[in-house]
Amino acid sequence: MTVEFSIKNGNPEKQRNDCVIVGVFESRKLSSAAAAVDQAAGGYIDGILRRGDMEGKLGSSLLLHSVPGTLCDRVLLVGLGKERELHEREYRTAVGASVKALANGGAADVASFLAELPVKKQGIAWKVAQLAEVAMDSAYRFDQMKGKASKANKEKESKGIAKLIINVPQRNDLKKGEDGLSRGLAIASGVSFAKDLGNLPPNVCTPTYLAEQALALAKTHGLQVQILERADMEKLGMGSFLGVSQGSLQPPKLIVLQHKKGKKNQKPLALVGKGITFDTGGISLKPGADMDEMKYDMCGAASVLGTFKAIAEMNLPINAVGIIPTCENMPDGNAIRPGDVLTSMSGQTIEVLNTDAEGRLILCDALTYAERFEPEAVVDIATLTGACVIALGHHASGLFSNNDSLAKELLQAGENALDRAWHMPLWDDYQNQLDSNFADMANIGGRAGGSITAACFLSRFAKKFDWAHLDIAGTAWKSGKEKGATGRPVPLLTQFMIQRAGKSSS
Ligand code: BES
Ligand code: MN
Ligand code: ZN
């Protein structure tokens, strides 16, 4: 479903539409838009609150019909929590509650007055961008793979917000509102693209499919793109990446995307995304339960493509390179075995002690390949370890870096975008867990600190540049009833790019 957005400056009581959204603080304190409605309605809202129907608890809502003195059909009251505690996350919770409250109802044409709320440290543009992102997130559906009949049924049932007017408090906020809206919509479209790629089944979303998507993206947005085939990778000596792909009938691809909208001499930022389109574990086969979720093992790649879509739509003045090694990890007569030794493009040799630790094997060659772009910084994004999910759960991505100021920038971008990461150690103390008797290193470091030793492995291929690694195994998708890709960390990465673009232009 698509939502049509616009920015306006008007009075809540004068909106002629299906619903007006206004906020209520705890305890029963009206926001300025709610107060304006209340005044037009002769104290009607205040009366309802006093009767105890709503306290203003964060995330609560109350839908009212035919409020006197207004021109709209409905007024949705949204709980904002304590006024002094309305920070970024609370704001997003309130916005999320407002969208959810209308998701299955009859209100299609809606005006939200939540962007007027004071959120510490954030201005109109941020609030509008978040509103657009949250509304798009809630409107997202993945029914590409459903049959005709169930699709037709869905269409008929489809309800919820179709037109969303975002109100700003003053006329001279309109420009900031428009800027925030286009930024929010660009991020939302990157997120939605990444979700689609993640949700597609592994028999559709193959390495070849990802390469085609990159070609199409490049064509639409005027990006440069190059697809390296197996023969090209053989010439480059990518023995580690090719080792992982050799058990699959699907040909591997190395996708290279370039967005060149910055100054000519400006070094590019590189994003490297893990693109395992299905991870069976290989000969070190995974257990059967939930193995279907290993279709999400290309979410790092999807986040790179999503971020490039977002920065291209914004026409962000920056130079960026996206590098995506993509293949399948399958068991087969030709697959790599535990004990095999692979020679990476860097020349370093790797003893494969577990074929299920394949992400690092494809990323290491992609990192070496990144050197040729002389990048200002490299960020890799990967659903790399189950251990990261144990460490951080599903809330924060794991962040590792060989440069503390780069780490800080990424953490900051994550906070701002409400797509958080947490800084993990990359101390040398962990490195010897990767010792091998037969090669320069082993591809696993034992159970203890599994996400850290995986990052340590990658760090050996990232010596020539400032580098950060995001382990998104816990954040890229949801399991259970709400199973689906989240589109994370497209918001974090895009915000990082925006921050960098701001720095280099000023
Ligand atoms: N793609 C997985 C990581 C993963 C596992 C992500 C579960 C999300 C949920 C990765 O390729 C993998 O299999 N990692 C192994 C590494 C181990 C063999 C050292 C893991 O985490 O078990
Ligand atoms: Mn694996
Ligand atoms: Zn994997």
Overall average pLDDT of the 405-434 stretch: 98
Overall average pLDDT of the 179-208 stretch: 98
Cβ–Cβ under 8 Å, residues 205 and 324 = no
- How does DSSP classify residue 284? S
Confidence of residue 149 (pLDDT cuts 50, 70, 90): confident
CATH 2.40.30.10 describes domain 4-168: no
Cβ–Cβ under 8 Å, residues 18 and 108 = yes
d(CA 98, CA 61) in angstroms, rounded, equals 7
pLDDT for 313 beyond 80: yes
Overall average pLDDT of the 337-348 stretch: 99
Confidence of residue 288 (pLDDT cuts 50, 70, 90): very high
Confidence of residue 156 (pLDDT cuts 50, 70, 90): low
Ligand 2 centre to CA of 322 (Å) is 22
**What pLDDT is attached to residue 152?**
74
- Is residue 260 flagged as an active site residue? no
Closest CA to 488 of 366, 403, 392: 392
The set of protein residues with a Cβ atom below 6 angstroms from ligand 1 is 279, 297, 354, 356-359, 383-387, 389, 444, 450, 473
Provide the residues around ligand 2 (an ion) whose CB is within 5 A: 279, 356, 358
Report the length, in residues, of the chain.
Answer: 506
Overall average pLDDT of the 493-503 stretch: 96
Packed helices 490-505 and 174-199: angle between N→C axes, nearest 10 degrees: 140
CATH for 189-500?
3.40.630.10
Q: Beta-strand (E) ranges in 339-457?
A: 341-343, 349-351, 377-382, 397-401, 421-423, 441-442
pTM of this structure: 0.98
pLDDT for 209 beyond 70: yes
Residue 23's beta-bridge partner residues?
78
Overall average pLDDT of the 307-314 stretch: 98
In three-state secondary structure terms, 351 is strand
Closest CA to 213 of 227, 228, 231: 227
pLDDT for 75-105, tens place per residue? 999 999 999 999 999 999 999 999 999 999 9
> In the predicted model, what is the mean pLDDT of the chain?
97
Overall average pLDDT of the 482-499 stretch: 98
Mutate to test the pocket of ligand 1, among 326, 327, 356, 434 (most ligand atoms within 8 A of CB): 356
Ligand 2 centre to CA of 377 (Å) is 26
**What pLDDT is attached to residue 151?**
78
As given in the structure block, the two tokens for residue 205 are 């979303």
pLDDT for 292 beyond 70: yes
Domain ranges of the chain: 4-168, 189-500
**What pLDDT is attached to residue 505?**
59
pLDDT for 389 beyond 50: yes
- Is residue 286 flagged as an active site residue? yes
Q: Whose CA is nearest to atom 13 of ligand 1?
A: 356
- Ligand 1 atom nearest to CA at 474: 8
In a 13 Å sphere around the CA of 141, the CA atoms on its Cβ side amount to 16
Confidence of residue 506 (pLDDT cuts 50, 70, 90): very low
Cβ–Cβ under 8 Å, residues 74 and 19 = yes
**What pLDDT is attached to residue 217?**
98
Overall average pLDDT of the 145-172 stretch: 88
